[in-house]
Amino acid sequence: MSMSRRELLRNVGAAALIPAAATAAAQVTDTPARPSTGTRRSGYTPVRTLNGRTLAHRMVDGVKEFHLVAEEIEHTFAPGCVAKCWGYNRSTPGPTIEAVEGDRVRILVTNRLPEPTTIHWHGILLPCGMDGIAGLTQPPILPGETWAYEFTLRQHGTHMYHPHADEMTQMAFGMMGMFIIHPKDGEAVPVDRDYAILLHNWALHPGTYRPDPSIMTDFDLWTFNSKVYPAIDPLVARSGERVRIRVGNLSMWNHPMHVHGVQFDVTGGDGGRWPERLWRPEVTEIVGVGQTRDLEFVAVPGDWAMHCHMAHHTMNTMGHDIPNPVGVDQAGVEARLQKFLPGYMAMGRDGMAGHQAHAAAMPGPPNTLPMMMGKGPFGDIEMGGMFTVIKVRDDLAPGDYRDPGWYRHPEGTIARRVSAAAAPSKDDDHAHHGH
């Protein structure tokens, strides 16, 4: 690839290099505006990227042309936690690229970072020179440069894009996105709602504002599309609709994704939608590092949790050097420490759930989220990180993605308290031990 910027301008036309502001505005209007009739546009159901959007394109001589701008951004993980991140078109993850098998695509990449970058089209079959590996298949894209990647899509499936230049830093800062290719002849089993979630992890240490790229195991934040619960959008569907959730993993850990309320079928991934005889019913599916997995199910009414099953991945920032206080009587410690630190409260003797109440009363360092901070209709949802809710209702219009609020459970279908006596098991315990 030796095309100069001037040649590029001549080849694709100066108008292709539209300013980021115009690009962003175009994306807003291009966010899938679903017809309320439920009819499929262009033979497929447009993908819905939680907290995100699909990248606008324009047709240039029969080629679908997209424009990604790599740049530093200010990203909010949830209100109260902002960081200097790197992303595309002013977001992390970057906008989802959506196209159809057989399309010829041209992706312009402008580098507004302070260092060189490239983009690798993860899982996509293409000529080697389009693979985006700095040094191996191309020189890096220097700051200020715009490069064009162009290839024909010869497959369908759930794919991803990310840099392949200083990737430890650039991915740790949030540079990544999803690239979804729909089959050209539609799908024998169509879906009504099609969601995209990209998993990531962040070393945003308590009280800091810039992710730490040198950390590979001690991450602080675990995210769906770079957001933590409860700032993650709910997935919304109407009862009986077929829902697909496309999960990509560009974090540095494997994530067992667990969906409540249904058995889903694992129906595909980077290899496209698998033949039906290969679909597997599961309730938890590990999405390994670098993998994508498509989970499909028929929606049943309720507010159903969807989360990573690694318990510490459904928590927000944790100090990594804290001792384990569970079971420790800290009463004396608390009194003594309060002499020096008047606000000090011992916590964690009975587990960590009390953290949510403590955190409300005693915020941590600036720019640091509590480990858990969700609020539900029945009290605190002791979750953060990789957690959200699938909200299924009987009376939703097709294509309505608005949060319908909390589920109203039918009479007699909800767990209830049968005794108000406090902890009867304690007495049993005492009797056993002869007190």
Per-residue binding string, Cu ion, 123-142, x by CB under 5 A, is --------------------
User: Of these, 308, 359, 372, 390, which contacts Cu ion (CB under 5 A)?
Assistant: 308
Three-state SS at 265? strand
Q: Is the CB of 162 or the CB of 313 nearer to Cu ion?
A: 313
Q: Please provide the distance, in angstroms rounded to a whole number, between the alpha carbons at the two ends of the chain.
A: 82
Q: Is the CB of 82 or the CB of 310 nearer to Cu ion?
A: 310
Three-state SS at 392? strand
Report yes or no: 387 and 306 within 8 Å, Cβ to Cβ. yes
DSSP string, 2-55: ---HHHHHHHH-GGGS--HHHHHHHHHHHS----TT-PPBTTBPPEEETT--BP
Report the site for Cu ion in 334-373 (rule: CB under 5 A): none
Stretch that binds Cu ion, among 82-90, 139-147, 311-319, 416-424 (CB under 5 A): 311-319
Q: What is d(CA 109, CA 129) in angstroms, rounded to the nearest whole number? A: 15
Stretch that binds Cu ion, among 24-32, 201-209, 237-245, 304-312 (CB under 5 A): 304-312
Q: Is the CB of 312 or the CB of 430 nearer to Cu ion?
A: 312
Q: Is the CB of 283 or the CB of 310 nearer to Cu ion?
A: 310
Least CB distance to Cu ion at residue 291 (A): 13
Q: Is the CB of 200 or the CB of 313 nearer to Cu ion?
A: 313
Stretch that binds Cu ion, among 93-101, 125-133, 146-154, 301-309 (CB under 5 A): 301-309
Report yes or no: 211 and 172 within 8 Å, Cβ to Cβ. yes
**Which residues 6+ apart lie within 8 Å of 147 measured at CB?**
1, 3, 8, 108, 109, 138, 141
Binding-residue total with Cu ion (CB under 5 A)? 4
Q: CA-based Rg of the chain, rounded to a whole angstrom?
A: 24
Three-state SS at 261? coil
Instruction: Give the CA distances from residue 225 to residues 50, 196, 231, 232, 247, in Å, rounded to whole numbers and listed in that order.
Output: 7, 8, 11, 8, 10
Stretch that binds Cu ion, among 48-56, 120-128, 254-262, 409-417 (CB under 5 A): 254-262
Two tokens, residue 211: 């992710």
> What is the helix (H) or strand (E) element at residue 429, kind and residue range?
helix 424-432
Spell out where 61-152 has E strands: 63-78, 81-88, 97-100, 104-111, 120-122, 146-152
Q: Is the CB of 138 or the CB of 316 nearer to Cu ion?
A: 316
> What is the helix (H) or strand (E) element at residue 357, kind and residue range?
helix 355-361
Stretch that binds Cu ion, among 79-87, 180-188, 285-293, 303-311 (CB under 5 A): 303-311
Sign of CA dihedral 236, 240, 242, 247: positive
- What is the bridge-based pairing of β-strands 242-249 and 193-202? parallel
Measured at the CA of 410, the angle between CA 193 and CA 353, to 5 degrees, comes to 80
Stretch that binds Cu ion, among 62-70, 148-156, 313-321, 414-422 (CB under 5 A): 313-321
Q: Is residue 293 near Cu ion by the rule CB under 5 A? A: no
Least CB distance to Cu ion at residue 161 (A): 22
Least CB distance to Cu ion at residue 384 (A): 12
User: Of these, 18, 252, 298, 310, which contacts Cu ion (CB under 5 A)?
Assistant: 310
User: Of these, 205, 255, 307, 393, which contacts Cu ion (CB under 5 A)?
Assistant: 255
Least CB distance to Cu ion at residue 257 (A): 8
User: Of these, 48, 313, 391, 393, which contacts Cu ion (CB under 5 A)?
Assistant: 313
Q: What is d(CA 188, CA 293) in angstroms, rounded to the nearest whole number? A: 19
Stretch that binds Cu ion, among 190-198, 247-255, 261-269, 402-410 (CB under 5 A): 247-255
Per-residue binding string, Cu ion, 145-184, x by CB under 5 A, is ----------------------------------------
Binding site for Cu ion (CB under 5 A): 255, 308, 310, 313
